[in-house]
Amino acid sequence: MADVTLMKTPAETALAQAYESAKTTLPGNVESRAEAFELFTRNGLPHRRVEEFKYTDLRALLREAAPFAGMPSADDAKAALQAAKALKGTQALEVPFVNGHFVRDAVDFHNLPEGIEIVPLAEALANGHDWLAKLSPVEWARQNPVYQLNTTFMADGVMLRVVGKVETPVHLRFVTSANSAVATATRILVLVEDEAAVTLIESHESPNGANHQPNDVLEMIAGDRSNVRHIRLNAEGDKALALSTLNAKVGAEAEFFSFNLVTGAATSRHQVFAILDGENTKARINGATMIKGGQHADSTLVVEHAAPHCESRELFKTVIDGESTGVFQGKIIVPHHAQKTDGRMMSAAILLSEGGAMNNKPELEIFADDVQCAHGATCGQLDEDLLFYLMARGIPRKEAESLMVQAFLGEAIEFVEDQDLHDALVAVVEDWLRARA
Amino acid sequence: MLEIKNLVVQIEDKRILNGLNLTVNNGEVAAIMGPNGSGKSTLSYVIAGKEDYEVLDGEILLDGQNVLEMEPDARAAAGIFLAFQYPLEIPGVASMTFLKAALNAQRKARGEDELTTPDFIKRVNAAATQLEIPKDMLKRALNVGFSGGEKKRMEILQMALLQPTFCILDETDSGLDIDALRIVSEGVNALRSPDRSFLVITHYQRLLNHIVPDTVHVMSAGRIVKSGGKELALELEANGYADYRESEAA
C-alpha cells in the first residue's frame, strides 16, 4: 500500500494550532485533553463518508476554525446578560455563561435553592475535585469527534449537584455576545442523586451575523428513582455553527425527559447519547425543529437500553421552510440482556417549501429477543384539504399553515409540564411563524 | 344574491359542470337535488373556492361581485359559508382556537375590530346551547373523535357564529339520526332571514321536511335540468331521478 499523507483542512490545522497554544493555559487535567485531541486527530473533522456524519459533513461545513473566546469583562458580561432574551421571564435559578465563560458574580452562592450545589468547572479542573471522576458517563461518546473537541478545549462550565426534590428550575443561560466569530467549549456536569428531582433549562443565544462556533456538552448522571426534566432552546444567531451533546446515564426506576427546540444557527447538530442503566426507567426524548432559509439542523440520538424493563419514547418534529435541510438520526440499542425493553421512536417532518430537504435515519439495534421496539419516519407537506377547510372559514393561508404547524409541533412540546415554560416555548414557535407570515 | 352564469368546470380533464345557471335571491332557500355524480358537491366546492377545480367558463356573482378570482378565505369574509359533507378532523387545533381565529380573521378582512375573549365566549356559548353542543366538545381538537352528528352540529355552530350571507349545506343530512337531523335543521331554520340565502344540497326529500325550501332544482350531468317549488322534491321522492337520467343520456 502506498504511503498516504493525511491532508489537513485549514480548520483542522487551525484547531491543532489552537490546541498547541492553549494547552498550557487551559485549566488543569491535561491528560484527558491530550487523549481526546489525539483521538480527534486520528480521523480529523468527520465528513460525509463517516456514517454518523453522512448528512452533516463537518469537514465541509467548518471551513475556518474561529478563535476561542476569552473571558469577558465584568461589565461586558453584565451587559450581555441584561440584553439576553431567550426564555426571559421564566422563574428559575439563573446560571449564566457569557462567551463560554461562567459568570460567577451573577450567582449568589450563599443563597442557592435548597438541594443545589454548584462548583465552577474551571476551578475544579485547576485545583482538582472529586466529581471530576464522574465526567464522561457515557463511555462510547468518547469516540465522537464533536465530543472529543469539547473535551480538548473545555475551558469553563459548572458542576451541579442536586439532592432531594428541587422546586426551582435551574436555567443554564448561554449568551455569546461577541460581534466577531468566536468558538466556545463549555462543559456542564449534573449529578442528580437518588430520589432527587430537578428541571434544567438550557438556552443558547448569540447575535446574528457572526460565525460563532459553540460546542457545548451537558453531562448527567441521574440516580435511581430520580426525576429529571431537561428543556433546551437553540436560539443562536443566523450564522452560527452550533454543536451540542447531551450525555446522560440514568439509574433505575427513574424518569428522564429531554426536549430540544431549535430555531437558530446556520448549522446545528444536537447529539443525545443516553444510557438507561437501571430497570424500570422511563425516558422520553423529544425535539422540535423549525428552520428556514439555508439553515441545516441535525438531531442525532443514540439511546442504549442497558437494563431490562425500561421504556423509551423519542418524538422528533421538524418544520422545514425555504431551502433548509433537516436531519434526524436516531438509534435504539438493546443488548441481549435488556429483555422487556419497550422503545418507540418517531420522526416526522413537514416541508413548507419546494426547496427544503429532510433526511430521516431511524435505526434499531436489537440483540434481546423479548422486546417491543418500533420506529417510524414521515415526511410530507401540509394537507391541502385541511388548509382548504380552514381557509373556507376565513382564515388566510399563512395563518392556516401556522395553526397546522403549531398543532404539529405541539405534539412534541406538550410533554413540557411546567406551564410557564411550555408557554414560553410556544411563544418561540409563534414568533417564528409570525416572522414567516 | 348569488348568480351563477354558464359555469363550466373540469377536474383532471373530466368535465363536471356543463354550463350551469342558477340564481338564489336574498332570503331564499334553494334546494338542489340530483343523482350521484351529477356535480352537486363540485358546485359547492367551486363556490367556496377549492383549488383542485378548473373553471373553464362562466361567473359566480355574490351581490354582483365575481368571487371566482378570490381566495377561499376572502370568499368566506365576503359571506360565503360551506357546511362540509365530511367535516375534516384537525388534530392539535383546539375547537375554540379555530373558532376564534376564523371569526377574527373575517372581522379583520372586513375592517372590523377583533372580538374580546369574553364577548367571543358568550357568542360561542349561546350558539352551542341552541345546538345542544356540550362545552367539553369545544375543548377538544376540532372534530377529532366527534361522531358524525357532532361534526355536522359543529358545522352549524360555525355558521351561526360567522353569520354568513350565503350558506351552502352539502348533504348535511347524511349520517344524521332523527334527533340530530331535528337539531341541525332547527339550527339552520333559526338562521333564516331576509338577507341570508341558502343552497341546500341533498339526495333525500326528508331534510326538506325540516328545512322547507322556497325553490327546488334538479341537477343532472352538470346542469340544472328542472326548477320548481317545494312540491318538486315530493315528485322526485315518488318517481326517482330516472326521467332526468334519460335527459342526461340524450
Closest Cα in chain B to A390: B102
Cell numbers describing residue A57: 459533513
Q: Does B97 touch chain A (CB under 8 A)?
A: yes
Is the CB of A390 less than 8 angstroms away from the CB of B90?
Answer: yes
pLDDT of residue A2: 54
Would you place residue B247 in the very low, low, confident or very high pLDDT band (cuts 50, 70, 90)?
A: low
Cell numbers describing residue B138: 369545544
pLDDT at A108 over 80: yes
Is the CB of B105 less than 8 angstroms away from the CB of A385?
Answer: no
Q: Does A391 touch chain B (CB under 8 A)?
A: yes
Which residues, in sequence order, are CB contacts of A299 under 8 Å at separation 6+?
A260, A262, A269, A270, A272, A287, A289, A316, A318, A327, A328, A329, A330
How confident is the model over B67-110, as pLDDT tens digits? 999 999 999 999 999 999 999 999 889 999 999 999 999 999 99
pLDDT-above-90 percentage for chain A: 94
pLDDT of residue B250: 41
Which residues, in sequence order, are CB contacts of B221 under 8 Å at separation 6+?
B18, B38, B39, B247, B248
B101: left (phi over 0), alpha (psi -120 to 50) or beta: alpha
pLDDT at A1 over 80: no
Nearest to B102 among A388, A394, A404 (CB): A394
Is the CB of A407 less than 8 angstroms away from the CB of B109?
Answer: no
Set of chain A residues whose Cβ sits within 8 Å of the Cβ of B109: 394, 396
Set of chain B residues whose Cβ sits within 8 Å of the Cβ of A389: 84, 87-88, 90
CA–CA distances in Å: residue B73 to residues A6, A388, B123: 61, 9, 21
Are A133 and A215 in contact by the 8 Å Cβ rule? The answer is no
Shortest distance, CA B93 to any CA of chain A (angstroms): 6
Is the CB of A399 less than 8 angstroms away from the CB of B105?
Answer: yes
Q: Does A426 touch chain B (CB under 8 A)?
A: no
For cell 387545533, what's the residue?
A: B93
CA pair distance A236, A244, nearest whole angstrom? 12
Q: Does B93 touch chain A (CB under 8 A)?
A: yes
Average pLDDT over residues B219-242: 90
Domain ranges of chain B: 2-249
Is the CB of A394 less than 8 angstroms away from the CB of B158?
Answer: no
Are A61 and A296 in contact by the 8 Å Cβ rule? The answer is yes
Strands B2-11 and B54-62, by their bridges, are: antiparallel
CA–CA distances in Å: residue B135 to residues A111, B90, B92, B154: 47, 18, 18, 12
Closest Cα in chain A to B76: A394
CA atoms within 13 A on the CB side of A155: 23
Strands B65-66 and B54-62, by their bridges, are: antiparallel
Beta-sheet strands, E only, within A121-212: 156-162, 170-175, 183-192, 197-205
Identify from A319, A388, A408 which residue to disrupt to test chain B contact, counting B C-beta atoms within 10 A and taking the largest count. A388
Name which of A194-208, A224-238, B111-125 the model is least confident about: B111-125
pLDDT of residue A42: 93
CA pair distance B151, B172, nearest whole angstrom? 10
Is the CB of A391 less than 8 angstroms away from the CB of B71?
Answer: yes
Set of chain B residues whose Cβ sits within 8 Å of the Cβ of A386: 88, 90
CA pair distance A324, A266, nearest whole angstrom? 9
Q: Does A393 touch chain B (CB under 8 A)?
A: yes
Domain B2-249, CATH among 3.50.50.60, 1.25.40.10, 3.20.20.150, 3.40.50.300: 3.40.50.300
CB pairs under 8 A between A and B: 80
A87: left (phi over 0), alpha (psi -120 to 50) or beta: left
Q: Does B77 touch chain A (CB under 8 A)?
A: yes
Shortest distance, CA B119 to any CA of chain A (angstroms): 19
Strands B215-220 and A255-262, by their bridges, are: unpaired
How confident is the model over B178-194, as pLDDT tens digits? 888 999 999 999 999 99
Would you place residue B249 in the very low, low, confident or very high pLDDT band (cuts 50, 70, 90)?
A: very low
Candidates A65, A189, A69; CA nearest to A133 is A189
pLDDT of residue A6: 65
Shortest distance, CA A259 to any CA of chain B (angstroms): 19
Are A375 and A362 in contact by the 8 Å Cβ rule? The answer is yes
Identify from A317, A383, A389 which residue to disrupt to test chain B contact, counting B C-beta atoms within 10 A and taking the largest count. A389
This model of the complex carries an ipTM of 0.95
Is the CB of A399 less than 8 angstroms away from the CB of B101?
Answer: yes
Q: Does A395 touch chain B (CB under 8 A)?
A: yes
DSSP state of A404: H
Average pLDDT over residues A376-382: 96
pLDDT at A305 over 60: yes
Would you place residue A425 in the very low, low, confident or very high pLDDT band (cuts 50, 70, 90)?
A: very high
CA pair distance A395, A403, nearest whole angstrom? 10
Set of chain A residues whose Cβ sits within 8 Å of the Cβ of B48: 388, 392
Closest Cα in chain A to B110: A394
Q: Does B73 touch chain A (CB under 8 A)?
A: yes
